[in-house]
Structure 1
């Protein structure tokens, strides 16, 4: 016998199935007849026990549960009035600390002793006393002619940057046009150019109140004899100068000008 999944089994002896208008299937009738022969339907209990029926005891159980819950809740609020929830007090024992003044420890500073110096033998008198030497008498022929007094010192030979020639000023003298003006008139010595010699010359220049060069002097020479000094002095004398000023008044002042000769594209003159 095969069963279809859409077939339903009707309960045994159920009066409700008789009200269904749909006719009972052959499978249901066969199944009911089979179980009817095996089980006696008359022996099955028709009514439930009232003691075990939960639907009958539902109302009583619900009322009893609500009553117990309310009683416990009210009792909890009443008990909370007499129960203190504050934390227990902890007693702190007093601790006495004694402070004792300890005197500072004296530290002795030991200075290292100098090592003894090596002894130097001192010559005795016997070793240092020279022997007696006999000196023969000599005659001196002195020419007591009158010697002319030395010439008076030349002011130009004095130190040009000493206290005698020091003149305070607010603005130092400078060439008009800067060092480029000196470079314009500077001629590199031909002999030095051929030999590839470079040098630097420091020239002292006395600039007058009108801006003219009164005196020149070589403070530092090149150490060669190829004409660096002459070329530097010639270029400096051809330049017009701006005199030094002190409170808007022109002053005659010495100034040193370094002139550097270099065989480069940037030019033979540079100012340090």
Structure 2
């Protein structure tokens, strides 16, 4: 038996004219659609009417805004009774006379006590009781001798209130000399028949005995 040959369907051979016409129409439709889409413009949306722009205040502006104070409450007039009106009329306010104050007087300046040098007073201070200084042990062992002049301030009672080293041959003797000078007792000096403070000079000699 012979096999039947199957015929392949070929539209170009079966319908040559119809195929060409359909292809041409499809191409024309594609070109028209392409040109139409390209010519269209996308316009932005414009809302109708005016658009209000809302600006939110910054925190600094919010702080500056102060709320208005509440309106004061209306006060109703209070009608005074006849008794209260009579009491108000009878009350009399007495004003005490003003007291005149004397101007405060400034206290007088403190009197500065005059201090005299030994040669400037009429009556010189005189030694009543004297003290010998302690010889420094270090200077004694080293065989050192010396001399110190102490300037002492004698007050109105004859006591020494201040001492200063006026001159010294060796610093080792200064402290013992000052300590001894503070213990001196004097008869005070006088100026115009009044006791006064006077500077005096007390010499101390440190000498070893053989």
Higher radius of gyration, 1 or 2: 1
Structure with the largest fraction of strand: 2
Q: For this structure pair, what is the TM-score category when the shorter chain's length is used for normalisation?
A: 0.3 to 0.5
- Using the size of structure 2 for normalisation, the TM-score is 0.41
Higher relative contact order structure (alpha carbons within 8 Å, sequence separation ≥ 6): 2
- Using the size of structure 1 for normalisation, the TM-score is 0.32
